[in-house]
Amino acid sequence: MEAALDEEIERRSEKARSMVGWSVRLGASSIVVMGILAWGIATRAPSSAPTAQVATPAAAERGGGMFYRPTHQMSYRSVRDGSFRLEASASSHPLHFVFRPDIGPNVLRADDARLSGVDISKLAYTEGVPELGSDLHAARATVPMLTFHEVTLFNVEVLVVDGYLAGPILGRDFLKRFDSFDLNREELTLRW
């Protein structure tokens, strides 16, 4: 009787070990399959730089793949003083930007910000703009939509100044919205 009981215990122990081994293999297989799926989804997703920031009809149609390469670009030639002039519109309001690589943030006058969809009555002008070398005070704001010819940028962070500014400025923060860019004395090329 004791031998039969020992045999039954051994048989059940063997079944339990077999089930544990099967469960471990099933769990490992599931992890591998989920990893392959996650990798497949990640490689088909667009680059993280322009996601929900740059929108064009062609970008919506463009599929992902193993490698992501920007497919669009626009170039701007420098003017006589060495600056770059970029024409844009925000809420149908034309903006005549000067791109200045020596300045970090994008900077708008209060009137331009208001016409671009920013509620300037809620702004607190508590920040300085040392790159402009003046006593200007600024407030952080977000322009809902800014269009440059064929590319539209959404939720563009800007500093709104409360004093005199000759015109709106695009700084280095503007460049971060694109996949890549080339900048030299004669030309600025933006790619997305």
Strands 127-128 and 137-148: antiparallel
Strands 107-109 and 151-161: parallel
**CA–CA dist 40, 38 (Å, integer):** 5
Nearest Cα residue to 141 out of 163, 154, 124: 124
Which parts of the chain register pLDDT below 50? Answer: 46-65
Q: Which CATH superfamily is domain 73-191 in?
A: Acid Proteases (2.40.70.10)
Segments making up each domain of the chain, as ranges: 2-44, 73-191
Q: What is the DSSP string of 118-142?
A: --GGG----EE-GGGTS--EEEEEE
The model's pLDDT over 63-113, given as tens digits with 9 standing for 90+, comes to 444 555 668 899 999 998 888 999 999 988 999 999 998 899 999 999 999
**CA–CA dist 159, 172 (Å, integer):** 13
